[in-house]
Structure 1
Amino acid sequence: MKKIFSILVITILLSSCVGNDKVILKESIGKLNKVMVVAKISDWTGDVGKEVRNSFGELIVGLPQPEPILDVSQVAPSGFSSMMKASRNILIISESNNEGFSVKNNIYAQPQTVVYVQAKDDAGIIKLLQKYKKEIKSIFLEADVKFTQSIFEKDKQDNTHYKTLQNLGISLTIPTKFNIVDDTGEFLWLRNHLTSGIAKTGSNNILVYSIPLTDESKVADNIVAVRDSIGEKYIPGTDAETQHMITEEAYTPFTFDAVIDGKKAYETRGKWEVKNDFMAGPFLNYTIIDKKNNRLIIFEGFTYAPSVNKRAFLFELEAIAKSMKIK
């Protein structure tokens, strides 16, 4: 009987130890839209490194200054120290007989995304990078979107403060640094004042509104016309009689397929300007097809930040847009 009791006690103690035996990962570090590449110096200075830089260094459309989709930096495997392992986005390139591409999360820190690309030789590695470059970029960008949203979640506005969001039946994770410019119940305009640039008068802006869904086949073709009509109605320049926001006529926007809250959408990137004025900047527009409610929901973010890079500002707006939930 004593033996049975002893075994029972030991079993309970062991179970308790296992239950509490958790590995606590340190917090990851690193800038948004930046990837640490672990590769041999000979690979980085050769064709493999060239392929990585060409793939990740593709320029973002719609920005006034040339800015890459992702910044990359390199460290040799021998220099991949504890501090380097804390990077949030890591791409590990190596030679191996087990050729392939894989993704793991929270290996050395959290949140963290680690992508592995391995092949028998440089030619095999380059082939894999070319085959999966879009997927790899999307993996890192989506991870950064979620990371940004998690930061905003800690300091977000109560959506009940916005009449338009309540009337449209949608929610967004909007940081408290955004203030209301206009909230009519049908149209919402929020602004975050920036302190970057020569003018020191920059701003990040959010617009949210809805229009009826009439012909789904023409939605993409009408995005510019719709945003120009909204600019004329709601976004005046210094002289409201002669100035308002329009799509820059000298630059054709780019439109891509997208998905927001599980619904078909279009992502449009381009440049805006104020008619009869010198103000201009990039915009990001998401037009979401809400068939259930027979409407289009439009989220637009636009930035005014003279003389400085604008990728980070647009990325914040993208993260907010992708937090949208539609009732």
Structure 2
Amino acid sequence: MVTSAREKIDVRELVDRRLEELLAQEMRRLAFLGDADREVVGRYLAEFVRGGGKRLRPSFVYWGYRAAGGPEEDLDAVLPAACAVEILHASALILDDVMDEAGTRRGRTTAHTGLTAHHRGRGWSGDAGRFGDSAATLLGMLAFTWADAALLHGTRRLREAMEVFTTLRVEVISGQYLDVASAARGAAGREETTVIARYKSGKYTVERPLHLGHAVAGGDPALRAALSAYALPVGEAFQLRDDVLGVFGDPAVTGKPAGADLRQGKQTYLTAVARERAGTYGAAVLAAARDDSGVAAARELIVSTGALETAERRIETLLDTARNALVRAAVPPDAEAALLELAGLATARSA
């Protein structure tokens, strides 16, 4: 069996190298912008992609490919698809930060905030904040286009891959809409928050990337279903961990403001359980979480009602379900080991 730690490092390095090639190619297309504007795109988009996080989604693409029998040596078959998912993730994050009015991401200034300062620093006309939001939205759209370009760059079985990639995008965009709409409506129950978590994050992070790798390898349909049985609980557990970090995470580690989800009125499994157990009082506390004292009170409510403990138990239950499903899937031993490790990385993280 291949050492899992070595494989994890190798996949990330391979993806980073291929991303560098793709980003250089796409930046060359922008020569017509001129040096100053190309530098802005490079700083707020290309550098954001380069400085990406854990490369979880590309890793799931790669191991979906390997689980389906894709040969280790044919990297040109799968790396473009893996990079497409990572570039799409950059697009989603940039746009998400605009919607959430977030000031930081991954410990650095968000694109729309930086572009607002860029406008002000040059004394340009018009509203600086509107420029920042508009320019960041355009960079997010550009990244969305770059993701297509990456997928077209040598991916095998392109029609099948594009079908999965399209489904992934439809689901994550619609899931984000559900997230925004539920925050506006308020008071979502456990069932609704589970659907939101599945579509805005879980399927997009684990299941569809696995399916994309499977499609590139020309995998068996029965294996695709088996991969879903592993992926769906891992994806839900991933979002549950994200929800916990959104309330209790250390900003120095998460790179995001403390209690941001509470301030924005995000409807999550944590808030659903707390509201369910604390009734009208709990709903009022959560609704008032708009400043530091309100966030502190909401955190105390989530702990005192046992909502945090319930979420942690659910994460463990979901992981057990995923592990059992993977054993039954009968994938190659190296793929099984890597997917087990990825499940742990996705759910036991601090950022």
TM range (shorter): under 0.3
Which structure is higher in RCO with an 8 Å CA cutoff and minimum separation 6? 2
Q: TM-score, normalised by structure 1?
A: 0.25
The structure richer in helix per residue is 2
Q: TM-score, normalised by structure 2?
A: 0.24
Who wins on radius of gyration, i.e. which is larger? 1
